[in-house]
Amino acid sequence: MIAYYFRIALNSFKRNIILTALTIATISIGIGGAMSTFTVYYAMSGDPIPWKSSRLYTPQLDSIGPKARSKSDEPPDMISYQDAKALMQVPVGEHRAAMYQTRMTVTPNDPNQAQFAISARAAGADFFTMFDIPFKSGRPWTAADDEARSDVVVISSKFAERVFHDADPVGRAIVLNAHEYRVLGVLKPWDPAPRFYDLTGDSLAQSDNVFLPFNTAIGHQMTTIGHTECENDPGPGWQNMIASNCVWLQYWVQLDTSSDAQRYLQLLGQYASDQQHAGRFSWLPMVRLRNVRQWLAYKEVIPTQVQVVMLLGFGFLLVCLVNAVGLMLAKFTGRTADLGIRRALGATQRDLFVQCLCETALVGVLGGLAGLLMALGGSALERAIVDENLARVTHIDIFLILITLLLAEFATLCAGLYPAWRASRIQPALQLKI
């Protein structure tokens, strides 16, 4: 019977092509507009490491005082060098790593290539294991390499292609900041969005090109290119900087159970209290411990403007659906004679309601397909006008395609409920000539 209803729907489309086309166009424009805005929100709101985000935590410690807080009720987002060194000794957590972003000048082996600058990340040895970063070849450095301040690096595959072309770079030397380093490994493409482990800048910025041991970078006095907050001027020189309370490092720890997280938080609070009693600072200690999802929510990774634009997009869809209701009412009203005859021949109100819903569902399918094409076009337009980093992650994947089609079908069926109900209530006597 359902197949019969769909055949009737196709015949109805042929008899009233203009009204059918207007209904499909209205649905498709609404769906295309809503999903074009949703793709940006989806790109910024995803969990960058869903299989592990509940076990990765970043601690916060108030080491620069109330006057320097960006939020009056929260400690700074980063930690100082001396706090990072102390947290590395906390006996809770399977993996832990301090890190910061810096910049290095590359001197290519090819004399025909000019020097160029790249972003680099200094990190503890657990960085790769903790974040499940895949390797294309080679290996990460060890804790012993980090302690020995070894001049070794791990590079991205994109950087390896640029500098070493088709050659395997593992074991080869590369000159960075006029200093020779040995390549230990090459990463597979790895670019989490948002870049949860460092939200001091653009959360959608690309991952770094070069990674080197944390203590090696400290030994070479490589300054951060990220944000730095200080209570007071630490004074000139690298030693004053790392001995100060200035916060400029990210720190992450893997805590596999809730009891480990609770214990770590207690130890963090005890450490802060000990620092206060030792006279390092006079204010009451304040600590926080957040996992990846909590951290992204706290940092408000999704700007208010993106949320407003998305709401406007779905508001536009609602307006389109209201118009679609009117068009379908007009369409079904124009078929009162056919529907009245079916009622006179024995069809029930339920039969007519299902018939009209089948026709509505077919409109939803066609509107969804057209809306998907519009969403793809809208997404391409967005990538052309938005920031480069946002454009890089804004795309429609299989999940968004399914959401688009399902939303179109669901929205169209909802819009068609009232017109279908009105059409099913028709009185056959009014349509028959005696």
3-state secondary structure 298-314: HCCCCCHHHHHHHHHHH
Residue 20 phi, psi dihedral angles, 5° rounding: -65, -45
CA distance linking residue 280 with residue 268, whole number of Å: 16
**Looking at 124-248, which runs of residues are DSSP E strands?**
135-138, 152-156, 173-176, 179-187, 210-213
CA distance linking residue 246 with residue 232, whole number of Å: 8
CA distance linking residue 297 with residue 397, whole number of Å: 24
Going by C-alpha positions, the residue among 300, 293, 302, 371 that lies closest to residue 40 is: 302
Q: What is the pLDDT of residue 377?
A: 80
* Mean pLDDT, rounded, of the chain: 84
DSSP secondary structure code for residue 188 in this structure:
P
Going by C-alpha positions, the residue among 251, 200, 221, 224 that lies closest to residue 84 is: 251
How deeply is 59 buried, as exposed, middle or buried, from its count of CB atoms within 10 A (0-12, 13-18, 19+)? buried
**Helix, strand, coil tally for the chain in percent (to 5):** 50, 15, 35
Q: What is the pLDDT of residue 40?
A: 76
CA distance linking residue 76 with residue 299, whole number of Å: 11
Which is more confident, 314 or 351?
Answer: 314
Inter-CA distances, 88 with 124, 217, 296, 358, Å: 10, 17, 23, 64
Q: What is the pLDDT of residue 151?
A: 95
* 221-245 pLDDT, tens digit each: 999 988 888 877 788 888 988 888 8
CA distance linking residue 162 with residue 275, whole number of Å: 47
Percent of the chain at pLDDT > 70 equals 86
For the entire predicted model, the pTM comes to 0.76
Rg (CA), the chain: 30
Inter-CA distances, 198 with 19, 58, 121, 194, Å: 53, 10, 10, 9
Q: What is the pLDDT of residue 237?
A: 85
Residue 183 and residue 136 in contact, taking contact as beta carbons nearer than 8 Å: no
Q: Pairing between strand 179-187 and 152-156?
A: parallel
Neighbours of 315 (CB within 10 A): 13
Flag the least confident range among 29-43, 144-158, 392-406.
392-406
Q: What is the pLDDT of residue 236?
A: 86
* 82-115 pLDDT, tens digit each: 999 999 998 898 899 999 999 999 998 777 788 8
Kindly tell me if the per-residue pLDDT of 252 is higher than 90: yes
Kindly tell me if the per-residue pLDDT of 179 is higher than 90: yes
Flag the least confident range among 198-202, 332-336, 413-417.
332-336
Neighbours of 195 (CB within 10 A): 21
Read out DSSP for 110-149? Answer: STTSPPEEEEEEEE-TTHHHHTT--EEEE-PPPHHHHHTT
CA distance linking residue 270 with residue 19, whole number of Å: 72
Chain-centre distance for alpha carbon 326: 38
Kindly tell me if the per-residue pLDDT of 314 is higher than 60: yes
Compute the average pLDDT of residues 318-337.
82
Compute the average pLDDT of residues 200-221.
84
Percent of the chain at pLDDT > 90 equals 34
SS3 for 182?
strand
Kindly tell me if the per-residue pLDDT of 290 is higher than 80: yes
CA distance linking residue 336 with residue 328, whole number of Å: 13
DSSP secondary structure code for residue 249 in this structure:
B
Residue 311 phi, psi dihedral angles, 5° rounding: -65, -40
CA distance linking residue 175 with residue 400, whole number of Å: 44
CA distance linking residue 252 with residue 127, whole number of Å: 9
* 150-167 pLDDT, tens digit each: 999 999 999 999 888 878
Chain-centre distance for alpha carbon 395: 12
Q: What's the token pair of residue 291?
A: 């996992």
Domain boundaries, the chain: 2-47+303-431, 63-285
Look up tokens 């992204």; give the residue: 296
Compute the average pLDDT of residues 362-367.
86
Compute the average pLDDT of residues 57-64.
90
DSSP secondary structure code for residue 245 in this structure:
S
Q: Is 149 left (phi over 0), alpha (psi -120 to 50) or beta?
A: left
Kindly tell me if the per-residue pLDDT of 434 is higher than 70: no
CA distance linking residue 307 with residue 301, whole number of Å: 11
Looking at residue 15, its amino acid is R
Q: What is the pLDDT of residue 129?
A: 95
